[in-house]
Each structure stands twice: as structure tokens, then as C-alpha cells.
Amino acid sequence: MRLDVSYDGTDFSGWARQRGLRTVCGELEEKLGAVLRTPVVLTVAGRTDAGVHATGQVAHVDVPAELVPDEPDCLVRRLARFVAEDVRITAITRAPAEFDARFSAMRRHYEYRLTTAPFGAEPLRARDTVAHPRALDVDAMQAASARLLGLHDFAAFCKRREGATTIRELQRFDWRRDGDLVVASVSADAFCWSMVRSLVGALLAVGEGRRDEEWLASLLHERARSSAVLVAPAHGLCLVGVDYPPDDQLGARNLTTRETRSHTECCGGTT
């Protein structure tokens, strides 16, 4: 079954299961297992960090066919009565056998929200919008972001994991302003650990005038995490979507992704 998931990450220690900590995966596996009356293990498109939100997360779970209702989406209402209010399964569908939430994914989309308003974030958006007290040159940020697009080694922006590749294809990195609100849209085939928030942190330095476009581009030549790149706060980040190929191309996509990651432990979309 494919599960579409939304959550406020404020009170979660990230997606991944961690002993003694409240996580999105732990919460959903417990409640879904209780409803289906069988232990379940979720596979997710992107393992978000502590404090990061999602409106377009995707996961899959394999369960015995006899436990799946004829209309799987009817489980959505049942689960809504059991899970906490800060996480919701918004849709459940029968997925093809070849569907893999992680390996079938073609790209992940994130948004990062911040505000330059002198009073900070609006109270109703304080949990998903970062208050940034300094003025930003969004045009300069947009121009600099374009220098990072394409297939590169993003080691300067990633927390190193043993055996993990830091080569990614950054497909979109746009900035837009709406009054005091500034939003970044970031898309890639996958992301390394802390990569999105590091990209945002680097561009904030450009927007404030502390760094220039050439400095940003030079980071692509680094082969280790750069101490000059600050990681933006987690609560401004949200996973807003995951793209998958048509059903008849799922098997080929899985093979391509597995071959690409065959000699590394892929981060699979962590942020």
C-alpha cells in the first residue's frame, strides 16, 4: 500500500525510528499495525530530520493481501481516530508490486519559509516559518542559486556519512518574495543529510551581503563539509512532494536507482 503523509515535525525527533524517542515512523507503524492487527514496517521517500515538516511525504508498506480492504482509502478515517493530531495519513492506495517509496522516486521537492518582518513570524505560522531579522537581497540569492544547479558533488553542504555519496543532481533552487515572506523551492533526485538546510544557510549569507556568488560556486570544489556554511533552522523546512514515474516504468526506475547507489549507502532524501 502507498501512504501519503503529512505532519508537523515540531514535536517529532525526525522520521526514522529511534529507541525511546517520538518519531513519525514510530507513531505510524504502531497505529497502522494496531488497525491492521499485524506488525508493519514503513519505507519512506525522504527521511526528514527532527523539526522538519511534510505535506507531501510518501511511504509504502507490504501487508498480507487478505488484510487490505477492497477500498484501502477507508483506512484513512479509521487511522485519524488513533494517530496524534500532528500527523495524518491523507491517502492510502493499492500500489503496484514494483512500487518502492524510496527507490522508485525520481525527485523530491522541498520548500523553506522565512520572514524578514520586524515582529517575526505570524503566530499561526511560527512553527513552520523562521524569523530572519536581517534584510535579504532575493535577486542576488536567485542569481547565486542558479550556479548550483546540475549534477555536482555537494560535500560542502552535507554532513558526512560513512560510505555515502554526496553527488546529487540539483534540479531546482528558486527564491520568491511575497512582502516579508521569503520562500525557497528546492528539488533534486535525492538529498544528503542536512543538504537542503545547508544550501539555504549558504544563500542567506549571500542575501545578507556577507558572501558573494563566486564564494558560493567555489564550494562545489570542496570535498568535505565546509565550516563556513551554516545550517538553517529545521522548522522552516517542509517536504512538499515526491515524483514517481508511470506504473509501467517503476521496475526500471528501481533498477536505475539501486545501481546508482550500489556502492554507497544512499541518504534517500534526508534533509
Instruction: Return the pLDDT at 205.
Output: 97
Q: Using the predicted structure, report yes or no on whether residue 71 has a pLDDT greater than 70.
A: yes
pLDDT per residue as tens digits for the range 15-70: 999 999 999 999 999 999 999 999 999 999 999 999 999 999 999 999 998 888 88
The dihedral built from the CA positions of residue 94, 100, 104 and 106, taken in this order, carries a sign that is positive
The dihedral built from the CA positions of residue 70, 71, 76 and 81, taken in this order, carries a sign that is negative
Domains and CATH numbers, the chain: 2-93 (3.30.70.580), 107-243 (3.30.70.660)
pLDDT band at 267 (very low <50, low <70, confident <90, very high): very low
Non-local (6+) Cβ contacts of 271 within 8 A are 46, 48, 49, 52, 110, 191, 193, 194, 195, 196, 197, 237, 239
Q: Using the predicted structure, report yes or no on whether residue 162 has a pLDDT greater than 80.
A: no
pLDDT band at 161 (very low <50, low <70, confident <90, very high): confident
Q: Using the predicted structure, report yes or no on whether residue 8 has a pLDDT greater than 90.
A: yes
Mean pLDDT, rounded, for 235-251: 96
Q: Per mean pLDDT, which range of 24-33, 82-91, 127-136, 159-168 is the poorest?
A: 159-168
Non-local (6+) Cβ contacts of 50 within 8 A are 9, 12, 13, 14, 234
110 annotated as a binding-site residue:
yes
Mean pLDDT over all residues of the chain? 93
Q: Using the predicted structure, report yes or no on whether residue 265 has a pLDDT greater than 50.
A: no
| Cα 159–chain centre separation | 15
pLDDT band at 270 (very low <50, low <70, confident <90, very high): low
pTM score above 0.85: yes
Instruction: Return the pLDDT at 72.
Output: 86
Instruction: Return the pLDDT at 271.
Output: 64
Instruction: Return the pLDDT at 256.
Output: 87
pLDDT per residue as tens digits for the range 185-200: 999 999 998 999 999 9
Active-site residue set: 49
Four-CA torsion 127, 133, 134, 137, nearest 10 degrees:
40
pLDDT per residue as tens digits for the range 214-233: 999 999 999 899 999 999 99
